[in-house]
Amino acid sequence: MGDAGAQWRGRRMNLRFNPPGEPPQVGSNAAVRRQRPRAPDQLLPIVSLSDLAEIVWRRIWSIILITVLSILLTLGYLQLIRGDLYMAEAKLLVRIGQEQAPSPTMIDRSMLFSAQTGYATAEMEMLRSRDLISALIDRIDLTEQPRPPPTSLFGLVKETVRRWWRQLKEAFDEAMIWAGLKPRLTERELAIEAVSKALLVEATPNSNIFTARLFWPQRGAPELMLKMLVDRYLSHRATLFQGTTATNFFGERRRETAARLLETEQALGAYEREHGISNPDDQRTALLRRLSDADTGVDAARLDLQLAQTALAQLRAADQSGHDELASFAVAQSGSVLQQTLAGELATAAARLLAAQTTAGAQDLTIRRLQASMRALSRALAQQLGATAEQRRVQLAMRERQREEIRLRLQTLQDDIGRWQELKRDVASAARAYDFNDNKLNEATGIAALEAARLGNVVVVQSPSEQATPVGVRKSSMLAFAAVGGLMLALTWVVLREFFDHRLKTPGDVERRLNLRLLAAVPQGRRGFGVGRPIDPAADAVLARTAAALGRYVSEEGMRVLVVTAGADGEGASTVCAHVGRHMAGLLGLRVLLVDMGGRRPGLREYVAGLARPPAMVVLDAERPDPGIFARADGWAIADFDAVSDATGGRPSLDALIAAAGEQFDLVMIDAPPWQSGAETLLAIRACTHVMLVAAANSLSWEPLERLCADLEEERVELVGCVLNRYRRYLPRWLHEVLR
């Protein structure tokens, strides 16, 4: 160790320290300050496979998390939200029909069966027509049927998640509508839009067959919907190519005449019900027959009345003439039995009276009794004949009324028959018009059917049929796509993160970003560099190599003062300074003076105090540092400026301290606070010619460190290099060996 120290001291024989305030010199010449090399401007940086693997390995947990999250979200969507989708498919062939066929005299008929490229496009657009879809929506009910209640826990969770998903979509739609980014649609418009999006019509290039597919979440619905849509399409296209004027005209005329016929029949029926007309001829014949019978009855009643009146008149005349006439009075055969009995008794009494008068006088009791009996019989007979005459008079009046009623009904029937015949003529006329238009419509429909057969250039090759299994991407494929997509998203995130992350992470970033020589990349140990903790062997070996590299500056370039600083607190500058100084004193045999400029605690003084062989503590005088103070220094020592400031209220001149240590120490290492912390670092920089930068990995971005390097160049000091502290190699060693 002593020989090494003598060798190093021999190399600095021509070194001297300048007075305070002057820039330090090396020998008789000024120290050569080398400028930092500038990296050439490149559009794309040169990156090795090892660098790429380091980036990926550093973000491996982000990549795994994003990929796994993508797979889990896709799996949750497939199992909980996504429903089955069923498809119905129909294939139609488009050939040249009579409406497009050229004349046979102009072109070979064999060309009629050749394909026309793109001819199916018009038919596809016709099948996708919104008019057909609207007519389809008007005929079917697309209301979603309620789902059966779940019977398992998974089914309950699935139904709940689906309900939340629908509510979320509805809330999002309402927010879009509220923001004016989406119009509010009715249920019919929503159904039309849904069917339009679910209908897929496509054709193979250079083919006259086009395929119509309809996707729908309810099983059985797409086949029915597609079948109705194809039927309406065929009917609609037939009306486009075929002239339907006659059919429409006669169809409209038939509807009009049918309405008129119904109206006249209703009017005729109402008239017949109102006037009681069913068959006027039979009714009139019956009324005439009844009228004839009524006339006969009136004549018979009048005759009976005359007979009754004649009998009554004869009875009264006979009664007035005397008893002799009564004896000869007799009632006609038309009289009643009572009248004939009374008349017989009256005649008998009259005969007995005449017989008695021949033998007895007028005052005889027998004669008076017979006369009284004859008067009584005459009165009774007169009453009977009067009642009969009155009855026959009533009957005659009744028969006359009946005859008048029949005559009136016959007259009314005669009057109603005219209007009835007029209505019958209207019904017959309307029936003839309806039959005429119906026959014409049948003829026009037949002709249209023949024309449609001639115009049938679209043939249904495959009727609409529904697949038995749901369609769509398989779950395994979607999970594979999710894994690939998640991996791509993770890599995109890594690229963006690396692009916007300007921190120093690897040793290559030091040379590429700061254009500084990398002195060492101190690995991050598990225990760290805390006060009182033993240093990790790997980190200690790296710091030893750093001390050896700095020894070249001392021996070859005459570096006497080295300032160790960082861009911020906590970068490990004090730790690096302590261990590098230890190795320069222990391995290289140099006499090293460590100077603690103060700053964040614990600092250099606390770190070196915990070493196995701590340096000698130098007690400084605040007024004037005496070279004799270094007499007890054995190899390396430490001077604490912060302790002097706290004890005496002031600190000595740093230039005086460096001049006083010139004969006793080969190198003065100054542990300065960060560049932006205060004036101590600026004073230390201006008192030396060399600076070593310490930067912790994954701590600061390279922009402020680059500005720090530029500021140090303006102070005319040389940056000997950078120590990347707490560097962690993410890439496994075996992979690094393979990719390097």
Looking at the DSSP assignment, which residues form a beta bridge with residue 209?
A: 93
Does residue 622 contact residue 651 with C-beta atoms inside 8 Å?
A: yes
Residue 649 scores a pLDDT above 60: no
Residue 710 resides in a domain: yes
What strand order describes the sheet that includes 458-466?
Answer: 199-203, 209-216, 86-94, 458-466
| Residue percentage of the chain with pLDDT more than 70 | 80
User: How far apart are alpha carbons 706 and 514 in whole angstroms?
Assistant: 6
Per-residue confidence (pLDDT) for residue 95, from 0 to 100? 74
For residue 645, the model assigns a pLDDT of: 56
By CB atoms closer than 10 A (0-12, 13-18, 19+), residue 717 is: buried
The pLDDT value recorded for residue 212 is 92
Tell me the DSSP string of 609-678: HTSSSPPEEEPPPSS---GGGGTT-BSEEEEEHHHHHHHHSS---HHHHHHHTTTT-SEEEEEPPPTTT-
Radius of gyration of the chain (CA): 68
Which residue in 311, 318, 314 sits closest to 336, CA to CA? 311
Average pLDDT over residues 183-201: 90
Q: Is the pLDDT of residue 625 over 60?
A: no
Query: For residue 39, what pLDDT is reported?
Result: 53
pLDDT at 484: 93
pLDDT score of 7 more than 50: no
37 domain residue, yes or no? no
Question: Looking at residues 459-465, what average pLDDT do you find?
Answer: 87
pLDDT for position 118: 57
Residues 232, 297 share a domain:
no
Choose from 211-220, 598-607, 683-692, 725-734 the range with maximum mean pLDDT.
211-220
**Could you give the 3-state DSSP secondary structure of residue 534?**
coil
Tokens of 732: 């496994």
pLDDT confidence of residue 213: 92
pLDDT for position 23: 39
Q: Which of 210, 211, 217, 239 is nearest to 135 (CA)?
A: 239
Residue 259 lies in a domain: no
The two three-digit tokens of residue 384, written as one number: 């009977």
Residue 686 pLDDT > 50: yes
Minimum mean pLDDT range among 150-154, 576-580, 591-595: 150-154
Work out the average pLDDT over 664-692: 82
Same domain, 208 and 290: no
Q: Is pLDDT of 465 > 50?
A: yes
Residue 711 burial class via C-beta count within 10 angstroms: exposed 0-12, middle 13-18, buried 19 and up: middle
Assign 286 a pLDDT band (cuts: 50, 70, 90): confident
Is 400:298 a contact under the CB 8 Å cutoff?
A: yes
> How many structural domains are present in the chain?
3
Write out the E strands in 338-439: none
Residue 607 binned pLDDT confidence (cut-offs 50, 70, 90): confident
Q: Are residues 289 and 397 in the same domain?
A: yes
Contact 312, 383 (CB under 8 A): no
pLDDT for 738 equals 77
pLDDT for the residue numbered 79: 84
pLDDT class of 109 with cuts at 50, 70, 90:
very low
What pLDDT sits at residue 40?
54
pLDDT of 650 over the 70 cut: no
Share of the chain above pLDDT 90, in %: 9
Contacts of 243-247 spanning 24+ positions with Cβ under 8 A? 243/451, 244/448, 246/440, 246/444, 246/447, 246/448, 247/441, 247/444, 247/445, 247/448
- Answer whether residue 63 is part of any domain: no
pLDDT confidence bin for 99, thresholds 50/70/90: very low
Which CATH number characterizes residue 611's domain? Answer: 3.40.50.300
Residues 141 and 235 in one domain: yes
| Residue 227 pLDDT exceeds 90 | yes
Phi, psi of 212, rounded to the nearest 5 degrees? -115, 125
Q: Look at residues 684, 675, 677, 676 and name the one whose alpha carbon lies nearest to residue 641.
A: 684
389, 419, 453 - which closes a domain: 453
State the Cα–Cα distance between residues 305 and 324, nearest whole angstrom: 27
449 and 461 part of one domain: no
Residues 437 and 305 reside in one and the same domain: yes
In b/e form, how buried is each residue of 665-677, taking b as 16+ CB within 10 angstroms? Answer: bbbbbbbbbbbeb
| Cis ω for the linkage preceding 602 (within 30 of 0) | yes
Instruction: Please write the tens of the pLDDT for every residue from 352-372.
Output: 777 777 776 667 777 777 777
Q: What is the pTM of this model?
A: 0.57
Q: Does 428 share its domain with 536?
A: no
Q: How confident is the model at residue 684 (pLDDT cuts 50, 70, 90)?
A: confident
Per-residue pLDDT, 389: 79
Q: Give 415 or 87, the one with higher predicted confidence.
A: 87
38 within domain boundaries = no
| Residues 543 and 610 reside in one and the same domain | yes
Categorize the per-residue pLDDT at 488 as very low, low, confident or very high, splitting at 50, 70 and 90: very high
Residue 276 pLDDT: 79
| CATH number of the domain that residue 186 is part of | 3.30.1890
Average pLDDT over residues 309-338: 63
Q: Are residues 15 and 160 in the same domain?
A: no
Question: Read out DSSP for 522-570?
Answer: EE--SS-S-TTPPPPHHHHHHHHHHHHHHHHHHHHS---EEEEEESSTT
Residue 64 in any domain: the answer is no
Contact (CB, 8 A) for 385 and 332: no
Give me the amino acid identity at 489.
L
Q: What is the pLDDT of residue 226?
A: 92
Domain that holds residue 104: 86-242+456-466
Q: Which of 520, 585, 581 is nearest to 546 (CA)?
A: 520
Within a domain: residue 476? no
DSSP collapsed to 3 states, 176-202 = HHHCCCCCCCCHHHHHHHHHHHHEEEE
- Type of residue found at 101: A
CB 724 within 8 A of CB 697: yes
On the question of pLDDT at 106 being above 60, the answer is no
> Under a CB-based contact definition with an 8 Å cutoff, are residues 365 and 383 in contact?
no
pLDDT at 727: 86
* Residue 570, number of CB atoms within 10 A of its CB: 12
The larger pLDDT score, comparing residue 549 to residue 664, is at 549
Strand pairing category for 667-671 and 518-523: unpaired
pLDDT, position 203? 87
Averaged confidence pLDDT in the chain: 78
Do residues 238 and 107 share a domain?
Answer: yes
24-66: per-residue pLDDT in tens? 443 333 344 455 555 555 545 566 777 788 888 888 899 999 9
- Asked if residue 384 is part of any domain, the answer here is yes
pLDDT of residue 680: 73
Same domain, 416 and 462: no
pLDDT exceeds cutoff 70 at 538: yes
Residue 368 CB neighbours (<10 A):
11
Confidence of residue 13 (pLDDT cuts 50, 70, 90): very low
What integer is the mean pLDDT of 423-430?
A: 88
Pair 460, 524 in one domain: no
